[in-house]
A = this chain, B = another copy of it.
Amino acid sequence: MAHDPALAWLDAHYQAMPPVAALGVSIAGYDGDALRLRAPLALHVNDKGCAFGGSMASLMTLAGWGLFTLHVRAVGLDADVFVADSSVKFRQPLYADLAVEAWRAGDETWDDALAALRTRGRARMFIAACVRGTDGVVAAESRARFVAVAKG
């Protein structure tokens, strides 16, 4: 992904945060709609040999945060992006490396949110995410509300 300057920036931003660097995250893909991350199971294994639920929640939060941040930067805005609330359902144990994906949920479009950020200095978006195993089975799903606050 290093050939895309926006993703290279996001990756550097991720790795500069100690709790994110500890997650062993790498960017697996971005098509403008969905952001995909990966992380090795070895860093996230719990006492049962599967992925720790807290790690899956962290990775989904991080994917949602990254997705919103990419959209904000793509239109030349600068904002702090926060997670405001989230709900997570854990479907089944995951015994493989973690593939995480986040995408827009809810009725507001990215254009709506970015217009609000530009005119009112604040925007919110609902973002869904999931964690899959290498067999494609969904181990965890989330829906979260993120808020962006314009800087300066």
- A sample of 23 inter-chain contacts (CB < 8 A) reads A18-B45, A19-B43, A19-B45, A19-B46, A19-B52, A20-B46, A22-B22, A22-B43, A47-B80, A48-B80, A53-B65, A53-B82, A54-B57, A54-B59, A54-B61, A54-B62, A57-B57, A57-B61, A58-B58, A82-B93, A84-B90, A85-B87, A85-B89
Task: Chain B residues near A75: list those with CB within 8 A.
Answer: none
Assembly of this chain: how many copies? 2
Task: Chain B residues near A45: list those with CB within 8 A.
Answer: 17-19
Number of A residues with CB within 8 Å of any CB on chain B: 36
Q: Nearest chain B CB to A25's CB is how many angstroms away?
A: 10
Interface residues of A in 34-85 (CB under 8 A from B): 42-48, 52-55, 57-59, 61-62, 65, 80, 82-85
